[in-house]
Amino acid sequence: MRFSFDGMTATKIMLDEDEMPRRWYNLMADLPAPPPPVLHPGTLEPVGPQDLAPLFPMALIEQEVTQERYVDIPDDVLEVYRLWRPSPLFRAHRLEKALGTPARIYYKYEGVSPAGSHKPNTAVPQAYYNAAAGIRRLTTETGAGQWGTALAFAGAQFGLDVEIWQVRASYDQKPYRKMMIETFGGTIHPSPSDRTEAGRRVLAADPGSPGSLGIAISEAVEVAAARPDTNYALGSVLNHVLLHQTIIGEEALLQLAKVGATPDVIVGCTGGGSNFAGLAFPFLREKLAGRMAPVIRAVEPAACPSLTKGVYAYDFGDTAGMTPLMKMHTLGHDFIPDPIHAGGLRYHGMAPLISHVYDLGLIEAASKTQRECFEAGVRFARTEGIIPAPEPTHALAACIEEALRCKETGEEKVILTALCGHGHLDLPAYGRYLAGDMVDKELSDDAVAAAVAQLPKVPA
C-alpha cells in the first residue's frame, strides 16, 4: 500500500475497524424542504405507523420517519459489518493512465461483502431489527439477485427464514445467484410465480412474462401480509434502506480526508437508489453545509429511465397496488422494463428521497445504454483488475466520460464513484457483449407516455 499526504500516489486507502462509523446519516434532517408525505391509497391521507406495522418492525418504521440527523448502529450489527467493513477506497491509477486524463478517479468498492455488493449494509440491520421484534420469517423480491443473496446471508446471522421472489428475466440469466441464496439458507422462486394471487394474475395475462421488480414486490408483500410471524424486507427505495447505506459515504469521507482529496464530481448508478444514496447523501450534507461543492450525478439505464424520462407523481411501489402511494419519479407501476442485464436497475420508480432532491435541483441525472456500460466495464476490468457488476458499469461509463472531458480541458478534477458490486456471477452478460450479441434498449417518448397513463389519480 502506497500513501502520500496529497493523495497523488495512494492506491488503496483503508480504515481500521475502530475507525468504522458507528452512526448512519439521515439526510431528512438537513433538507431545505421536506419531501411529500407517503399516502394511504384508500384515504389519500399520510400513512401512520399502524399502516406499516403489518410489514415492518417498529424500529424500522421509526427510522423511516425520523428527523434525527444520526441513528446509532447497534453493536450486533457492527459485529456483522466487521466481516467486510470498512470497505476499501481505491485510486484508479491504471484506468487514469489508460485514459490519459489529468483527473483523479476514486472508487469505493463494496464487492468485498459476503453477497458481493453493497446490499448487506441494509440487509443485516433489517434482519437484526426483525429478529429483535420476534419475527421468524422474511419475504422479499430481488432483481439481479444481489439483494436476495444479502438478505439470505443476513437471515442466517439472526436465525430468520428468508423467502425470495426473483424477477424471472434475472432468475434465468443468473442461475448461480439461486445457488448462492440457497447456500446461505434462503428459498427462492422465479417471479411471476403461481404461488401468489398477484403472480397468477400476471401469468394469466402473459404466461411468458419476464417479470419486474414491481411484480416480485407484490408477491412478497402478499405472502408477508398473510402471516403474523412474517415481515417484508425491501432492498432499496425506502428511507430506512437509504439510511443504512450511508455508511458507504461516511467511510469514503474519512478515507478521502486521509489523502487530502475533495471530490469535484460524485457519480453513482441508480435503480431504486440505495447505492447512490449511500455514497452521495453524506457528501450532500457537506455540500448543503458549504464545506464542499461537488456535482452529484445519478446514472440510470436508458431502458428504464425513471429520473430522466419518468414523471414526478404519486405511484404504487408495486404492480398490484398493495403498497402505499409514494411521490417519486416513476414510469408507472405497470411498466415492465426490457430484460437488460443490469437487473438491479430494472425498477419503475426512484426512491422518493432521491426523487425529492432531484426535484430540488441538488443532484443531476443521466442515462446510458447497456453496450456503452459494458464497454466501460471491460475497460475497467482490463486496467483495475475487477470485473464490475452490470449495475455499476453505468456509473463507470459516466466516470470515463467525465475523465475524458478533463483530458480535453486539462482540469484535474477529483471524481468519486461507488463500485457497488462485482460481476463474477454476471459473466454470461459479458460473454454476450464480447461476442457482439448485446442489443441496446432505449425507452421512447411514446412508450413513456403509455407507461405513465395508468398512474393513480391523486389531487394536487
First CA to last CA distance, the chain = 56
Contacts of 311 (CB under 8 A, 6+ apart): 329, 330, 452, 455
Instruction: Name which residue leads in pLDDT, 114 or 458.
Output: 114
- Please give the pLDDT value at position 214: 85
- Please give the pLDDT value at position 327: 96
Inform me whether the pLDDT recorded for 2 exceeds 60: no
In angstroms, rounded to a whole number, what is the distance separating the alpha carbons of residues 315 and 41?
9
In angstroms, rounded to a whole number, what is the distance separating the alpha carbons of residues 351 and 244?
14
Q: Do strands 104-109 and 137-142 pair parallel, antiparallel, or not at all (unpaired)? A: unpaired
Q: Which of 415, 418, 420, 419 is nearest to 294 (CA)?
A: 415
Instruction: Name which residue leads in pLDDT, 248 or 452.
Output: 248
Strands (E), 235-320: 265-269, 295-301, 311-316
- Please give the pLDDT value at position 5: 42
- Please give the pLDDT value at position 234: 93
This prediction's pTM: 0.94
Inform me whether the pLDDT recorded for 292 exceeds 80: yes
Q: pLDDT band for position 401 (50/70/90)?
A: very high
In angstroms, rounded to a whole number, what is the distance separating the alpha carbons of residues 109 and 106?
10
Enter the C-alpha cell of residue 422.
462485482
Scan for cell 443504512, then name that residue. 244
- Please give the pLDDT value at position 3: 40
Residues in the chain: 460
Q: Using one digit for the tens of pLDDT, what is the confidence trace for 237-290? A: 999 999 999 999 999 999 999 999 999 999 999 999 999 999 999 999 999 999
Give me the chain's average pLDDT, please. 93
- Please give the pLDDT value at position 448: 85
In angstroms, rounded to a whole number, what is the distance separating the alpha carbons of residues 418 and 278?
9
Q: Using one digit for the tens of pLDDT, what is the confidence trace for 9-51? A: 779 999 999 999 999 999 999 999 999 999 998 899 999 888 9
Considering the chain, what percentage of its residues have pLDDT values greater than 70? 97
Contacts of 152 (CB under 8 A, 6+ apart): 162, 164, 180, 181, 182, 184, 185, 186
In angstroms, rounded to a whole number, what is the distance separating the alpha carbons of residues 192 and 202?
7
Inform me whether the pLDDT recorded for 346 exceeds 80: no
Computed over its alpha carbons, how large is the radius of gyration of the chain?
Answer: 20
Q: Using one digit for the tens of pLDDT, what is the confidence trace for 47-64? A: 988 899 999 999 999 999
With H, G, I as helix, E, B as strand and everything else as coil, classify residue 87.
coil
In angstroms, rounded to a whole number, what is the distance separating the alpha carbons of residues 195 and 234?
19
Enter the C-alpha cell of residue 223.
405472502
Q: What value does the mean pLDDT take over residues 437-447?
A: 87
Q: How many CA atoms lie within 13 A of 339 on its CB side?
A: 14
Strands (E), 276-317: 295-301, 311-316
Inform me whether the pLDDT recorded for 86 exceeds 80: yes
